[in-house]
Structure 1
Amino acid sequence: MAAQTFDMIVIGAGPGGYVAAIRAAQLGLNVACVERENLGGICLNWGCIPTKALLRSAEVFHLMHRAKEFGLKADAIGYDIDAVVKRSRQVAGQLSAGVKGLLKKNKVTVVMGEATLTAPGKVSVKTEKGTEELAAKNIVLATGARARDLPGLEADGKRVWSYRHALKPPHMPKKLLVIGSGAIGIEFASFFNTLGADTTVVEVLDRVLPVEDVEISTFARKAFTKQGMKILEKSTVKQLDRSADKVVAHVETGGKVEKIEVDTVISAVGIVGNVEGLGLEALGVKVDRTHVVTDEYCRTGVEGLYAIGDIAGAPWLAHKASHEGVMVAELIAGQHPHPIKPGSIAGCTYCHPQVASVGMTEAKAKEAGYEVKVGKFPFIGNGKAIALGEPEGLIKTVFDAKTGELLGAHMIGAEVTELIQGYVIGRTLETTEEDLFETVFPHPTLSEMMHESALDAYGRAIHF
């Protein structure tokens, strides 16, 4: 059977792949998108979106307990974990169906099945009906990543969970141990802790949320501890003794091993790229620690083969994948897009309180040889934060003392995942401190703190 021929084939329909396919179709290319599981990928179905739905339920539950503070009455507050999970699955389902509709509208050919690169420009897809052969001069790998399993700490779906199990929990944890305090670990710790689970977080590095600025990590740790979480830093889970109704974790801290008995463990110790079974080795694609090596334009070095998103390495963020998808589609269509600047990609963590950042931390800026000016503004000094009943938080900005360039911004507190975009635009437009000083921020808003933080770096803050 002759192969179906396209201008571009995308393997994977997550936030990298489906966006690449749509952008290429907009530019007049004939596109096929191959997906083995769910349109929208992990992000829409088992990651970003359903976790946010769960966390919203936890946030509302937390607020209900605070009703009295706001002059309100709420009695017999409780939750139904099955209904909470059902809502999150409905949200994911709605968006996955939306992706299907978008691909159809843009006339992208969707092939459901498992793809293998059999030769340059050739893709073989195992579908339910048999094998389909596809061909294209340009192929985009967007196969994403999955949870890393450490020996002895593997998820079994019963008492030891990966993020997938945690999204459809077989039971509500009473005593929970979370291994890893990156975004995924801390978001699940935050969710289950808010719903009443006695939660312990183990982090191998010296602080929680280790990629964040030290001050933000320190602030977060205090907030989590106040909420009743136990945080163990510079600690390693050596082994898990599993039984039908409990797990005993052997946790080593400073040379001493402590046994912690829990009923549930969530392992969130990083991710590995989905590079297996694609036929990459035979094509000579360079893979480094489960990630495809690319240049700044996501080219693999093999003619006509690109890799985007999680499979192409850090930062492992959906919005980075989508942006790379657009860039690659434009490149293939003969346009001249700019490469992505990793320093202008924001990271957001939707724990309580929220955390968001872009650019360099204060320590990284100093390491890079910059002389810095640092500004800070606390939520307690902001009218909107107090009116919302959210006075706990901090906004920190880092500037180059010589040029006034905004090197980085770091936030913790209510709605900071929405606020960070202001600084992201600033970084993209090569903003200086003067531009931020001259910008009129609306009142009363949380965003005014962004202004004050910039002013504070130069000793000009008004409200603090």
Structure 2
Amino acid sequence: MASNYDVIIIGSGPGGYIAAIRAAQLGLKTAIVEREHLAGICSNWGCIPTKALLRSAEILHYAQHPEAYGIRIDGKATPDLAAIVKRSRGIAERMNGGVGFLMKKNKVDIIWGEAKLTKPGEIVVSKTTKKIVEPQGPIPKTTLGEGTYTAKHIIVATGARPRAIPGIEPDGKLIWTYFEAMKPAEMPKSLLVMGSGAIGIEFASFYRTMGVEVTVVELMSRVMPVEDAEISAFAKKQFEKQGMKIILEAKVAKVEKSANSVTAHIEMKDGKIEKITADRMISAVGVQANIENIGLEAIGVKTDRGFIAIDGYGKTNVAGIYAIGDVAGPPLLAHKAEHEAVICVEKIAGLPNVHPMDKNLIPGCTYCNPQVASVGLTEAKAKEQGRDIRVGRFPFVANGKAIALGEDQGMVKTIFDKKTGELIGAHMVGAEVTELIQGFVVAMNLETTEAELMHTIFPHPTLSEMMKESVLDAYGQALNA
């Protein structure tokens, strides 16, 4: 088999496998190195299987409240944990196989093992310490493995892993990361979640719907602190209505373990300590990039605050070495990694008019109940920048489709530059907002103003009508509220 390539990508997550496909499409001889499973954390342990769990929780919620829709179900709807986990893991395997098919379709070589940069243009692949998960289905096993490989361009896409706080390290039994939280052997009766970012809140939402007593501890003054304050406050009220306990401006100072439970010492804002005992605890305090043991130091690749430093095209300070995705810095999102991959490869291929990514136009989605989605500046950030703004809001309770769905709790918020009419931020909380947000993302990419949005016809009855109404409200013209 060949050992010399135009492009070698280290890591097959969303950034890595998309980079490989785009490189192959552009006629570049391409290989991808993977130490464990194709499709990375996103498809195997993150984005996709967690949504499968949350879908099961959503179905359970509807089944337990059929009377709200005029339906009678004899008997009690109860979760089958083993079946829920099996479904989620099956979906992960399907995604893994799908990426394997794409590698075959695009004639990308797969090199199994752990890669280390030895010099610009060269990597050495050694036997992996992980258990390799070969794609299932009609995907032939590759014979590539240990050895030395060369390429003019090497892209590092090694992703990230859960961050651990010293003294409160996950142990896989009592203190979980998202790996253990995704496939529990049994459902705990109580759960403490440390951190209220997307990962923490999604798992808190899943387990609460499953009937678990859930407490969330957040260091900042609000849940989902990267979101607009108004959206965050609305979401918090909905979480609490569901029975979730939320403690803000507090931290887990230490944890005491017993045979089958943990007692967390929660340090409050005033310095007082409150002890909370729970069956299990999830550590969701962020992630850290996988930059160790891949040879960065040996060849002088610069890092910055734990991430590989790059320019707008994925280039590092060392010629021929690039980085994309989580390992290259925030926002740590699969869709950011994918777009970064395309930009990097197209620049390598010498395509004209390749532009750096505008991170202000990257949407963020949290798939809790209610869902949260956003793009662009929050109201606070816009004001910090000294912008003169107009803010529009529209509630789900005034939308016919939301009422018909039984999903009338939510809000759409839009932020415009008062001088130019440019849409500079959009924030949503409520049913299906993770699907709606892309309309605003497209509008912002096209530098749309309020005038175009006001004269766009939105179909009726849909949730999307609230998007237009929020725009109208920013200019004092809302029609249905």
TM-score by length of 2: 0.95
2:70 corresponds to: 71
Amino acid at match of 2:175: V
- CA change 1:238–1:82 in 2 (3 A) is same
1:31 corresponds to: 30
Amino acid at match of 1:62: H
Q: Residue 430 of structure 1: SS of its match in structure 2?
A: coil
Q: Residue 232 of structure 2: SS of its match in structure 1?
A: helix
Tell whether the 8 Å contact from 1:3 to 1:135 is kept in structure 2 after alignment.
Answer: no
The alpha carbon displacement at 1:120 in A equals 0.8
Q: Residue 331 of structure 1: SS of its match in structure 2?
A: helix
Kindly provide the CA deviation profile for residues 130-161 of structure 1, in whole angstroms up to 9, marking residues without a partner as x.
Answer: 73111001010100000000011111111110
The alpha carbon displacement at 1:342 in A equals 0.4
Measured in 1, the distance between the counterparts of 2:204 and 2:305 equals: 28
Q: Residue 207 of structure 2: SS of its match in structure 1?
A: helix
1:227 corresponds to: 242
Larger deviation, residues 285-294 vs 128-137: 128-137
1:275 corresponds to: 291
Measured in 1, the distance between the counterparts of 2:223 and 2:76 equals: 34
Tell whether the 8 Å contact from 1:216 to 1:411 is kept in structure 2 after alignment.
Answer: yes
Kindly provide the CA deviation profile for residues 359-385 of structure 1, in whole angstroms up to 9, marking residues without a partner as x.
Answer: 000000010111000000000000000
2:124 corresponds to: 124
Q: Residue 294 of structure 1: SS of its match in structure 2?
A: coil
1:236 corresponds to: 251
2:475 corresponds to: 458
Measured in 2, the distance between the counterparts of 1:170 and 1:361 equals: 40
User: Aligned match of 1:249 in 247, 264, 267?
Assistant: 264
Measured in 1, the distance between the counterparts of 2:145 and 2:230 equals: 55
Larger deviation, residues 72-81 vs 26-35: 72-81
| Residue pairs, 1:44-443, within 5 angstroms | 44-74=43-73, 75-127=75-127, 131-254=146-269, 255-336=271-352, 337-443=354-460
User: Hey, which bits of structure 1, 4+ residues long, moved more than 6 A?
Assistant: none
Kindly provide the CA deviation profile for residues 300-343 of structure 1, in whole angstroms up to 9, marking residues without a partner as x.
Answer: 11101110000000000000000011111111111131111001
Measured in 2, the distance between the counterparts of 1:123 and 1:3 equals: 14
Measured in 1, the distance between the counterparts of 2:422 and 2:127 equals: 52
Larger deviation, residues 180-189 vs 120-129: 120-129
Q: Residue 303 of structure 1: SS of its match in structure 2?
A: coil
Tell whether the 8 Å contact from 1:3 to 1:132 is kept in structure 2 after alignment.
Answer: no
Measured in 2, the distance between the counterparts of 1:78 and 1:97 equals: 31
Amino acid at match of 1:49: I
Q: Residue 426 of structure 1: SS of its match in structure 2?
A: helix
Amino acid at match of 2:372: V
Tell whether the 8 Å contact from 1:246 to 1:263 is kept in structure 2 after alignment.
Answer: yes
Structure 2 unpaired stretches of 5+: 129-143
Amino acid at match of 1:364: K
Q: Residue 196 of structure 1: SS of its match in structure 2?
A: coil
TM-score by length of 1: 0.99
1:16 corresponds to: 15
Kindly provide the CA deviation profile for residues 114-140 of structure 1, in whole angstroms up to 9, marking residues without a partner as x.
Answer: 000011100111136973111001010
Measured in 2, the distance between the counterparts of 1:131 and 1:450 equals: 53
Measured in 1, the distance between the counterparts of 2:145 and 2:33 equals: 14
Q: Residue 391 of structure 1: SS of its match in structure 2?
A: coil
Measured in 2, the distance between the counterparts of 1:432 and 1:304 equals: 41
Q: Residue 16 of structure 1: SS of its match in structure 2?
A: helix
Q: Residue 454 of structure 2: SS of its match in structure 1?
A: helix
Measured in 1, the distance between the counterparts of 2:76 and 2:206 equals: 20
Tell whether the 8 Å contact from 1:158 to 1:170 is kept in structure 2 after alignment.
Answer: no
The alpha carbon displacement at 1:73 in A equals 1.4
Amino acid at match of 1:323: H
Tell whether the 8 Å contact from 1:3 to 1:133 is kept in structure 2 after alignment.
Answer: no
Measured in 1, the distance between the counterparts of 2:240 and 2:79 equals: 23
Amino acid at match of 2:445: T
Q: Residue 266 of structure 2: SS of its match in structure 1?
A: strand
Q: Residue 409 of structure 2: SS of its match in structure 1?
A: coil
- Percent of aligned positions that are identical: 59
Tell whether the 8 Å contact from 2:10 to 2:157 is kept in structure 1 after alignment.
Answer: yes
Tell whether the 8 Å contact from 2:205 to 2:369 is kept in structure 1 after alignment.
Answer: yes
**How many residues are aligned here?**
463
Q: CA RMSD in A?
A: 1.1
